[in-house]
Structure 1
């Protein structure tokens, strides 16, 4: 990078500033900024600023003003020198107004003056009045002269437009910058008192501009006054000082009148909307009355008409948001049925949901309006909480308005014609989808008040749409009815209403295909079946029709996902009712496998559904036979995968080959010949995913009690053969494809599925089998396998497997430790390091005698490995190491030899562990790690007599990472930790010490 010399003359500085604004490489710009900042902070910075402000060019002057700000923020001046700077600053401001400097310079000088005020407010108490006085005289005059000036109103009215803008910019910056200064700090009490002392003058400045006067210059002044007012509203809300609030409240009425001026509308409506939304208490009753009158005026009625008619330009939508903010501020009045004016306005808010166009794609007010109504209903729920909802006056406002909104919302979320929908971009489509979800949430809120009538409403709408073949209406009504399924899930009180839908001609119509019912309506109707699966448990007579419909749809690529999800949910919920039909399900699945449109995810759900039915078959032989039939079907893909894998290198398969259809879903299916290797891999993944889904489906819905620890399971030769067959599939596919991460993940998912089971099953493998698979060779994602090994070890604590713990861990521990030993550095594979140490920690917690019986060199490696992780920077391995050491410190064993080994290990490792903990607590750790690091520290001081000696040595070690704490502070920290004896308060002591070691400026912003 080019070396930039520090300028030694003003022209050289100017040249460097010009370079800053030219297109240059980022590193050069950064270097220029560094050089200029050094100049600004130098003792010559004041002279530099003065010289730059006297030169032509806005960029040069701007940098001069910026230099003043830097100097004011970094140097403390005596009061007399400060007053001199103030006079000079005001002179520069006046000169900039006369010499044609741009607004960027004037604004920066105003910012510099505000910076001066923040640091020296006691020398410039009446800053606003003084600025206006100086602008009026066109000269910088002593601060004390303001005592004898004419009334401020006269001075403001006499200001030229450009001078008025400067005064407004200064007043706005005064509020914006001082609002950032902590109002609760005693250090800044004087500053904020001085700010408040200028409130009258600021109010006079703004009031003068808000008077209706014609002309472009007047409009500009009014805009700046409103911007200034916005800044002071924010400041007033932060300070909540009544005199200031009253000054600002007096400006609300003239501000409201500005809405009627086209050129002021946008900035004014934004101000009022924000304030109504954030600070309703600011407005008085008179203000609200004026706003009601405004909304009833012809001006507002025309804007409302334009918005509802489809005008979604920015200013039109802003009017709608203004209405919603007002409604939110008046929510109590809106809930009062006797307040006619409020109810009339509430009807207008409901009408916003009737605006022309589709939500998000066209209609930009629908979603904000629905958010208002959702909040309104929540308030109604709170109000009606203690009342019965059975006899509510739904025919009267505000409840009638709520039901009107329900009607409007249902109509608004109907899909447009396909040609219109396809013309939308992805953002518009996503926005429309989100709007539908918002309606679903809204309906669930309304349900808490209405209950059954809302269900009945949408049942009737479904039936009406069916009767007239109104498919978009049917889709929307089914969507809304489905959204209420969680609300209606308890009890049978809604079954009669639902029977009207599921006992109608709906299923027959849906089976007739897309020529009768459009695709989207069919999708939503299938989703409706899944949402009300509990209904079919109670009404098995409707179950065959529902399942026949779903299976007829699952082979269609556009219906596969909703129908397969419904099949899975329905079969899982109704499994005990369907065991006699398992043969028919297997035949359906066998038939579907030859369908080239049968989606892989849909297949996973279908086989999982069939497995859940098989799980409930009471007869062991019938269950085994059904499982075998299901596995044979999945095994076809395995055999094809293995056969393709044995093809010659580079062998290709035609895209119309049935195996390609099985390997690739329609959306990813190749159109040109594809490598046999790629097809083989995809077939393997599909088969494995089906196995994982079958394993999940075969899990008992509720875990059974394993019973006595000594329970023994009778030998089942059929089950043993199933274990051998499945494990054979896993081993073969692992050997061929474990270089693929997805294959490894799914194999581990298959193993995990059986770990939580307490009864024998096809995927509850013997521990020796699982151990053999885990400790075999893997080409990728071995960390995932180690994590699975941890879950496997935890599962062995079940009674009938306890005899396998020692031999299993005897194989797994060396395997895990060897994997860690192969790492170049502990953090070179953070995931493997984390899972490896977590594995060791779990064994240590439950079986310390097995861990400590490992080879001494391997134990030494693991302990040092955990020390390195604790001293590292990777958060997850570090957290795992912290947990390991917490467990190690507290480890106990009934075996005397094991306990003696633990004690010896602790005496050797204790100093290193303390050194590591102190290094972290002394500043190396991140703040988020401190609570976790406190755990082993607390255990140490309670468990080990040498803890104080070890910690003291670590604190006084030359390698301690911070020089910001004294020896006395370290000793005090240790004393506090030891006296707390592991209490929770230790965490705060650790945080305080860490913060002191980092430095006092390393604190979160309050």
Structure 2
């Protein structure tokens, strides 16, 4: 039939073998997908038909290779489809039939495609349940030797397997190897731990000796190279199976038998034609199944790595030969290192170990930049990380006197660190510019991995690693080797977190570097220092700000360098960050330099690098120094000068608006507010400032009632000007909120610690249409929270104004679902009235105002929006718990609960048994729990909710609801409310959940 005929008509069921063969051939020709599907379906029907067994035989007699392949495939299909219909008397004849075909095909020099498929069919037979083909490999060898399938009972009548193998041709032995490989691969796919695996192992175990004999013959030194190649591949398959089958049975007999193949496999490594496939076997086994190797095997591998063969391959790798074979040798070396790392740690002084460690060090010494050029150093670094981890584990496991290995192991780690130092150096700019983004990322990832090594090694190297690195840094300074210096500073930065806050011997070492001429050289414009070196030095000052706090003599040169670096747009951001960290940490030591800072900041503002980010960090740094001045009065003048700088941005904002430049106005306004916010944060007292609880000195009133009040007014005025001019800009509103919040948590007066009335006045200027009004509501939350403790002053009037403000927003937005985020924020604010300002909440003078608020919060609990629902659940849990307030507050609460309790119960039950997602159940359990614990009428309310028409599910009958209520009220046994809530939720969805009576 022609190709176009197939494409124009439906595929007809063949009526003769000739038509079947034509159809099979057509299956493997190009064609439309629809046609191919038709052909497949037609042929599959034939394969699955009762005549499928005969069809397989006929197809295997064809002259066409693809047809014969399909015949072998048909046997597999029939095995899988009809196995259960075969009787015990059918099994052995079928096996003989399959073996006979394999013998015949191999004797005819059949193609690998067909022979491999028939081998997989035999493996499929072996894996069928209840099959007991225990000497499968021996059976194949004897049958091929005999020229046809023999009975399994007659195997002992044939010569030993080694003798039979010598009689077989290359093609015959290769076919047996293919069967053996497929057998191991398919057996390895059987699920571990199941009955099928147990039966499989019982069937396979008797053949393990035959497998080893076959593989020993195939990879013997005198074997044909093709036979060796197939033998090594087969060995890899069996090692994979052995890993799954006997990973926890180190002394199992089959595993011991397979281990005898290690020595001949090692000889294959030395053959250039076998290197690629054999090295893969050793890499995989060392990496994933190292217990397979006996101690003598490891010794042999160690000796192999000391031979001229290994030396030559290692040298090629050292000379930057990163071709596949060289990389594979490197991975083999690393896999051996990982497998023996504990011995390498504890036997570092032995000659054989020193040789291996020397080669492993050499993998960090190859020419080229990591990963981009040097493709082995990433894996080498991982080994040294493992080496350090092994050292750490040994340190904890042994007493100090039993560590004779420690000295040599430490020296190896120090050497590895110095080698890594050589690899983390940044390339010159002309090289770096040629790298793509992926190469840059990988290089940075390598540097981060070196960080991990340094931090892990510090555990047992201590100050010595600092001494080595500082020595390298000072030498680099003397030589003007800036890439080397940058690499050293990068390594030191990684170790910054390792030093305790109290310092130690590391301080003395670091002071030698930071107190040297390094910063003056780096800031010298006449010296061509790469920007990366300057940037890493800038970062270093941020990392070691606590060191500068302990050694204030370092500050002048460090800060001079940082301010000089601010002029560079590329470095101004990290420089400003380090300035902020240094000034915040060392504020008390810098008060004498305050005037200089103010002058430098004034000059800095004229530079192109003075953007929003850098300005806010530097002005905040100066604010931290002002905060450290000894008296409040002394802080006034420098604070006013800082505000003058901010005024410039405010004026620029107004000028831009006047000129119709809205975008520029917004930028200047945001800059002014962020600078104010930064000042407010850095004006906060440091967390480590000691509190004098016994002091009777009264707090200064300078900022509340003295001259400082004008400064506060000035700050408020600046914020008002910007927010008034740009009231519809969300970022402006958010940054203004940050200014007001910056002083709320302070316990002592300050320029940003505004009276509560001032903050409330700002809050009241907004409404539900104000952009990012959620930030305004959060500011109200923070204000109330800071006045909740008994030690703080009461702000009842301000709380009342905030409550009225929230009520207006609630009325304006309507239902919670209209503005879920605003709704959540409103509930969070109302939550802050409990318990200290509950009197304000209950005395809301607006008619029906309190009822509206409670109804709104109940609507939040009913709604589908997650965040408002959870905030409402927290509110109700808190409110129903208010049972010990003084009269007449408690009476008011009780009256509210008498009205809201039944509604709350209905809402909770409807949510639990209705549409609430599982993730909300724990939140809903809290108000239910408090309702049951705290409210005497909870049972009545819950009964109404459970038995009323509002119950949302018809899957829970009245009896189940009654039992559930009894359990909720008693909380008997170990079940808590959360568990009971989940039970009702599950039952309401129709799950067959049995309630205990």
> 2-side partners of 1:220 and 1:48: how far apart?
40
8 A contact 2:756–2:795 mirrored in 1: no
Task: Report the equivalent of 2:130.
Answer: 122
8 A contact 2:562–2:576 mirrored in 1: yes
> 2-side partners of 1:106 and 1:935: how far apart?
69
| DSSP-derived class of the 1:367 partner | helix
Decide whether aligned partners of structure 1 residues 574 and 215 sit closer, same or farther in structure 2, where only a CA change above 3 A counts.
same
- For residues 782-819 of structure 1, give each alpha carbon's deviation from its aligned partner in whole angstroms, at most 9, with x where no partner exists: 44444444444323325434324631541353256347
Task: Say whether 1:945 aligns with 2:939.
Answer: yes
2:266 to 256, 262, 269: 256
Task: Say whether 1:716 aligns with 2:724.
Answer: no
- For residues 564-596 of structure 1, give each alpha carbon's deviation from its aligned partner in whole angstroms, at most 9, with x where no partner exists: 222112111110122233222122111111111
Task: Say whether 1:856 aligns with 2:856.
Answer: no
Task: Report the equivalent of 1:655.
Answer: none
Map residues 929-940 of structure 1 onto 2, 5 A cutoff. none
> 2-side partners of 1:342 and 1:957: how far apart?
76
* Structure-2-length-normalised TM-score: 0.79
Decide whether aligned partners of structure 1 residues 815 and 857 sit closer, same or farther in structure 2, where only a CA change above 3 A counts.
closer
Task: Report the equivalent of 1:583.
Answer: 595
Point out the more displaced range, 154-163 or 693-702.
Answer: 154-163
8 A contact 2:861–2:872 mirrored in 1: yes
Task: Report the equivalent of 1:794.
Answer: 785
- For residues 695-744 of structure 1, give each alpha carbon's deviation from its aligned partner in whole angstroms, at most 9, with x where no partner exists: 22111112787989x99984335444444443444445445556655445
> 1-side partners of 2:631 and 2:985: how far apart?
65
> 1-side partners of 2:96 and 2:969: how far apart?
58
| DSSP-derived class of the 1:530 partner | helix
Deviation at 1:342, TM superposition (A): 1.5
8 A contact 1:634–1:687 mirrored in 2: yes
- For residues 505-546 of structure 1, give each alpha carbon's deviation from its aligned partner in whole angstroms, at most 9, with x where no partner exists: 223322322534333333333333333323332333332222
8 A contact 1:723–1:763 mirrored in 2: yes
CA RMSD of aligned residues (A): 5.3
2:685 to 697, 700, 724: 700
| DSSP-derived class of the 1:486 partner | helix
Decide whether aligned partners of structure 1 residues 977 and 285 sit closer, same or farther in structure 2, where only a CA change above 3 A counts.
farther
- For residues 432-486 of structure 1, give each alpha carbon's deviation from its aligned partner in whole angstroms, at most 9, with x where no partner exists: 3333333333233333323233322233222222223232233233333333333
Deviation at 1:419, TM superposition (A): 1.6
Task: Report the equivalent of 2:995.
Answer: none
Decide whether aligned partners of structure 1 residues 461 and 131 sit closer, same or farther in structure 2, where only a CA change above 3 A counts.
same
- For residues 931-983 of structure 1, give each alpha carbon's deviation from its aligned partner in whole angstroms, at most 9, with x where no partner exists: 66665666666564369858976999773689xxx999999988877775495
Corresponding pairs, count: 941
Task: Say whether 1:231 aligns with 2:240.
Answer: yes
Task: Say whether 1:746 aligns with 2:735.
Answer: yes
8 A contact 1:485–1:532 mirrored in 2: yes
> 2-side partners of 1:101 and 1:816: how far apart?
86
- For residues 215-252 of structure 1, give each alpha carbon's deviation from its aligned partner in whole angstroms, at most 9, with x where no partner exists: 56425523531441343143135564723432432333
Point out the more displaced range, 80-89 or 397-406.
Answer: 80-89
Task: Report the equivalent of 1:346.
Answer: 357
Task: Say whether 1:358 aligns with 2:369.
Answer: yes
Map residues 172-191 of structure 1 onto 2, 5 A cutoff. 172-178=184-190, 181-183=191-193, 189-190=198-199
2:753 to 750, 759, 764: 764
> 2-side partners of 1:844 and 1:101: how far apart?
88
1:449 to 443, 460, 466: 460
Task: Report the equivalent of 2:621.
Answer: 609
8 A contact 1:614–1:623 mirrored in 2: yes
Task: Say whether 1:171 aligns with 2:163.
Answer: no
Task: Report the equivalent of 1:678.
Answer: 663
Decide whether aligned partners of structure 1 residues 858 and 286 sit closer, same or farther in structure 2, where only a CA change above 3 A counts.
same
Map residues 172-211 of structure 1 onto 2, 5 A cutoff. 172-178=184-190, 181-183=191-193, 189-190=198-199, 193-194=202-203, 199-200=208-209, 202-204=211-213, 206-211=215-220
Deviation at 1:845, TM superposition (A): 7.1
Task: Report the equivalent of 1:501.
Answer: 513
Point out the more displaced range, 364-373 or 951-960.
Answer: 951-960
Point out the more displaced range, 939-948 or 486-495.
Answer: 939-948
- For residues 308-346 of structure 1, give each alpha carbon's deviation from its aligned partner in whole angstroms, at most 9, with x where no partner exists: 111222332232222222222222322224532122212
Decide whether aligned partners of structure 1 residues 60 and 588 sit closer, same or farther in structure 2, where only a CA change above 3 A counts.
farther
Decide whether aligned partners of structure 1 residues 338 and 550 sit closer, same or farther in structure 2, where only a CA change above 3 A counts.
closer
Task: Report the equivalent of 2:675.
Answer: 690
Point out the more displaced range, 243-252 or 590-599.
Answer: 243-252
Task: Report the equivalent of 2:953.
Answer: 959
Task: Report the equivalent of 1:867.
Answer: 862
Task: Report the equivalent of 1:222.
Answer: 231
- For residues 847-896 of structure 1, give each alpha carbon's deviation from its aligned partner in whole angstroms, at most 9, with x where no partner exists: 66666765324422321322223xx6x6x666556655655665545223
> 2-side partners of 1:976 and 1:188: how far apart?
47
> 2-side partners of 1:975 and 1:140: how far apart?
76
> 2-side partners of 1:954 and 1:901: how far apart?
22
> 2-side partners of 1:546 and 1:455: how far apart?
20
8 A contact 1:755–1:792 mirrored in 2: yes
2:316 to 294, 306, 319: 306
Task: Say whether 1:898 aligns with 2:930.
Answer: no
8 A contact 2:777–2:825 mirrored in 1: yes
Task: Say whether 1:630 aligns with 2:642.
Answer: yes
1:560 to 572, 588, 607: 572
1:414 to 409, 420, 425: 425
Deviation at 1:292, TM superposition (A): 0.7
Question: Which consecutive residues of structure 2, in runs of 5 or more, have no partner in the other structure?
Answer: 1-9, 993-997
8 A contact 1:389–1:450 mirrored in 2: no
> 2-side partners of 1:50 and 1:514: how far apart?
90
2:281 to 268, 271, 290: 271
> 1-side partners of 2:898 and 2:148: how far apart?
84
8 A contact 1:757–1:764 mirrored in 2: yes
> 2-side partners of 1:764 and 1:42: how far apart?
86
| DSSP-derived class of the 1:562 partner | helix
Decide whether aligned partners of structure 1 residues 961 and 752 sit closer, same or farther in structure 2, where only a CA change above 3 A counts.
farther
> 1-side partners of 2:92 and 2:686: how far apart?
79
8 A contact 1:886–1:935 mirrored in 2: yes
Point out the more displaced range, 359-368 or 803-812.
Answer: 803-812
Point out the more displaced range, 342-351 or 566-575.
Answer: 342-351
8 A contact 1:128–1:202 mirrored in 2: no
8 A contact 1:236–1:244 mirrored in 2: no
1:814 to 778, 791, 807: 807
Task: Say whether 1:371 aligns with 2:382.
Answer: yes
8 A contact 2:229–2:277 mirrored in 1: no
Decide whether aligned partners of structure 1 residues 400 and 734 sit closer, same or farther in structure 2, where only a CA change above 3 A counts.
same
> 1-side partners of 2:360 and 2:468: how far apart?
22
Task: Report the equivalent of 2:6.
Answer: none
Task: Report the equivalent of 1:428.
Answer: 439
Task: Report the equivalent of 2:298.
Answer: 288
Map residues 15-30 of structure 1 onto 2, 5 A cutoff. none
Task: Report the equivalent of 1:656.
Answer: none
> 1-side partners of 2:32 and 2:124: how far apart?
31
> 2-side partners of 1:808 and 1:42: how far apart?
83
Point out the more displaced range, 168-177 or 320-329.
Answer: 168-177
Question: Which consecutive residues of structure 1, in runs of 5 or more, have no partner in the other structure?
Answer: 1-6, 649-675, 1002-1006
Deviation at 1:295, TM superposition (A): 0.5
> 1-side partners of 2:49 and 2:682: how far apart?
78
8 A contact 2:268–2:278 mirrored in 1: yes
8 A contact 1:168–1:205 mirrored in 2: no
Deviation at 1:296, TM superposition (A): 0.9
> 1-side partners of 2:907 and 2:88: how far apart?
58
8 A contact 2:964–2:984 mirrored in 1: yes
